[in-house]
Chains A and B, each alone.
Chain A
Amino acid sequence: MSTVLQVENLRTHFFTKAGVVKAVDDVSFSVSRGKILGLVGESGSGKSMTGYSIMGLIDAPGKIVDGKILLNGENIIDLKPQQWRGLRGNRVAMIFQDPMMTLNPVLRIDTQMIEAIQAHEKISKGDARERCRAALARVGIPSPDERLSAYPHQFSGGMRQRVAIATALLNKPDVIIADEPTTALDVTIQGQILFEMQKLCRESGTALIWITHDLSVVAGLADDVAVMYAGKVVEYGSVANVLDAPLHPYTQGLLESVPSRNVKGQPLKQIPGMTPSLLKIGAGCAFRDRCKYRAPDCEGAPQLALQSQHRQVRCFHPVAA
């Protein structure tokens, strides 16, 4: 298997008046061709910021302070803005939660999609349009020829997200980062989108990073999963390993709090407390105040350690499997 994207010890910090917010703090993972990585975490865990860092979309006061992002073996972290332009939308593409972040409301779909192709390639408008039409057809939009001349507001939410996905696919990128693309959609529409994405990854060999807070979506979709908490990856491994035998107390707590894992009508198992402010974590394990296995050594900083092959956990007291 060829690794397409490798992220090593990535740190993205925001230098605000209130202090340094370590939004992404030592994140490492890798994705291979045609594989899907689920990046799971609650709000504020840094999962979206990890995605933005890979896309080179971090603005001041944020800055990537350390780490490597290797795209096909080449470190892309220190690229100049001009070089980023050649990369973004071309070799790495992003799908946002709200498709209106991708689509310009005052331009027709074809204008926007053709522009995305011509930005990276010398190609005639007719050929570009034909490729747009094929991309729309691939994501399951009926009568793509007519729909190309429509404006974004003429589409439903699910259809708009399909257009955003088709736009991301246009230049056959090596990696697509999908940031909660189905969170705002209804269950049956989410099913349709997951179906299309899964098919596309298999067929085109694109590596996919699926950012979500929903463990059940990851269970059905992804090969590997990285669980994030307060800016750090706390557990990383194959979906089967992590979801069936979680090692980190946070992953365990998260899985136990899903309603379907609990006995009906009985109180759900819950993680006490709430996600700490990223400004106030200090040294030590960020989860220690909510953890039932807390011990004195948790005041020190645990490292992401290899537990077994392809299985990492950041904890001094991993849950016995």
Chain B
Amino acid sequence: MSHILELKNISKRFTKKLDLAGKVASTLGSGAREETVHAVDNVSINIERGEVVGLVGESGCGKSTLGRVVVGIHPQTEGERWWHGRDVATMSAAEKRAMQLQVQMIFQDPYASLNPRYRVEDIIGEAPVVHGLVSGKDKADYVASLMQKVGLDAALSKRFPHQFSGGQRARIGIARALAVKPEFLVCDEAVAALDVSIQAQVLNLFIELRKEFNLTYLFISHDLGVVKHLSDRVVIMYLGRVVEVGATDELFAHGNHGANTGANHPYTQALLAEVPRLDVRKKDFVAITGEIPSPLNPPTGCHFHPRCPHAMARCSVEQPVLREIAPLRFSACHLNDMK
């Protein structure tokens, strides 16, 4: 098996430095301290070539930060990124640039991620020209072919982003990412802002493009229905940590028979139970209790223990390790030690 990308013990912390007033107050003993958010905490993921990995979690769980670390927008605080079996940190500048072109990102907000003063032609065509993939005079043809690939009328290439609908802008964002011929796409909530009928169109486009260009996706979403449909493997995050990893079919399987069917971690189970489904009528909603804690001040031990129906004394003290509970099936829960 060839890993296209390996994340090894990646952590990303954001620290709010004290300003002058804070420093003065702190020396006077006010107790003002630097605040640190552990956005991503010791995450290791391997992604195979051609695979679609769904990264699922609620707001503030660090899934977008992890996506940005993968692309290289945020440097990781700790850990290593390996690309095609090589540590990115040991690459030469030229190799790093080449690698960075291979990993592209599609953003959530099709309104904020396109420059409103650029014509579509330039939004899509700028990067490939700068990187010497196409010459300036071939740009128009190249952009036209890309626009056709993503289902846009090439005659619209002189227009500005505001002249397009939300679904069309999502397609422009996809075309821009594809323009530099990437192998790997990080899609950060790429369909979350779209209406159902338009969302289906864009998801279909992702499926087609994957086949055509042999792409690998890291698909970040809070929508379990979308992730279930698209991905081969699912990674569930909660407050910066990975709590469960498994093949989509196994994770979403109903019932709880054996170690590798159905959700293993109590958080995954709760998440799956809360998802509204079309075939469930007039259901009695049973709410999982509690709020998502602040990542500034996460609970000790297992981050999920204050909301977990199975919490034991050990859960508030000791952090459970993510370990293999069945072949290629990982879960971080103390309950697995008791089976």
Contact = CB atoms under 8 A, between A and B. Distances in A.
B100 interface: no
Given A260-B225, A271-B200, A274-B167, A195 B276 contact: no
B287 A191 contact: yes
B285 A194 contact: yes
Contacts of B287: 140, 188, 191-192, 195-196
A303 interface: no
Nearest to B267: A188
Contacts of A140: 287
A240 B200 contact: no
Nearest to B248: A264
B196 A243 contact: no
B274 A253 contact: no
Interface in B27-85: 58-59
Interface stretch (B102-110, B111-119, B134-142, B202-210): B202-210
Interface in B156-212: 165-168, 195-201, 203-204, 207-208
Nearest to B279: A219
Contacts of B166: 43
Nearest to A218: B276
A231 B330 CA distance: 49
B203 to A, nearest CB: 6
Interface in A261-283: 261-262, 264-272, 274-275
B224 interface: yes
Interface size of B as a range: 35 or more
Contacts of B285: 191-192, 194-195, 198, 220-221
Of B200, B224, B228, B248, most buried by chain A (CB within 10 Å of CB) is B200
A239 B321 CA distance: 44
B284 interface: yes
Nearest to A182: B276
Of A196, A240, A257, A268, most buried by chain B (CB within 10 Å of CB) is A268
A186 B292 contact: yes
Contacts of B273: 191
B94 interface: no
B283 A220 contact: yes
Given A243-B278, A265-B229, A268-B229, A188 B271 contact: yes
A271 B197 contact: yes
A275 B275 contact: no
Contacts of B222: 186-187
A21 to B, nearest CB: 16
A311 to B, nearest CB: 17
B197 A215 contact: no
Given A187-B224, A188-B58, A195-B287, A258 B196 contact: yes
Given A186-B59, A188-B270, A264-B228, A255 B278 contact: yes
Contacts of A307: none
Interface in A208-246: 213-217, 219-221, 223, 239-240, 243
B280 A220 contact: yes
A270 B207 contact: no
B339 interface: no
A266 to B, nearest CB: 8
A268 B200 contact: yes
Given A190-B274, A264-B228, A259 B203 contact: yes
Contacts of B167: 274
B229 A158 contact: no
B204 A270 contact: yes
Interface in B198-242: 198-201, 203-204, 207-208, 222, 224-226, 228-230
Contacts of A266: 207
Contact of B275 (A187, A243, A254): A187
Interface string A176-191: 0000000000111111
A159 interface: yes
Interface in B292-328: 292
Nearest to B57: A186
Nearest to B58: A186
Contacts of B278: 215-216, 219, 243, 255, 258, 260-261
A262 B230 CA distance: 11
Contacts of A308: none
Nearest to A238: B281
B166 to A, nearest CB: 8
B296 to A, nearest CB: 13
A113 B152 CA distance: 50
A105 B167 CA distance: 33
A198 B282 CA distance: 9
B93 interface: no
B282 A254 contact: no
Contact of A219 (B228, B249, B276): B276
A257 B200 contact: yes
Contacts of B165: 274
Give 9 closest A-B pairs by Cβ, nearest first: A257-B200, A191-B274, A259-B229, A195-B285, A216-B276, A192-B287, A186-B58, A42-B195, A195-B287
Given A196-B287, A267-B207, 20 more contacts: A186-B222, A188-B287, A190-B276, A191-B274, A195-B284, A195-B285, A216-B275, A216-B277, A219-B281, A220-B276, A220-B280, A259-B228, A259-B230, A260-B229, A264-B228, A265-B207, A265-B230, A270-B204, A271-B197, A274-B167
Interface of B: 58-59, 165-168, 195-201, 203-204, 207-208, 222, 224-226, 228-230, 248-249, 270-271, 273-289, 291-292
13 contacts: A42-B198, A187-B222, A187-B274, A190-B274, A192-B289, A219-B281, A239-B282, A254-B197, A257-B197, A268-B204, A270-B204, A274-B167, A274-B168
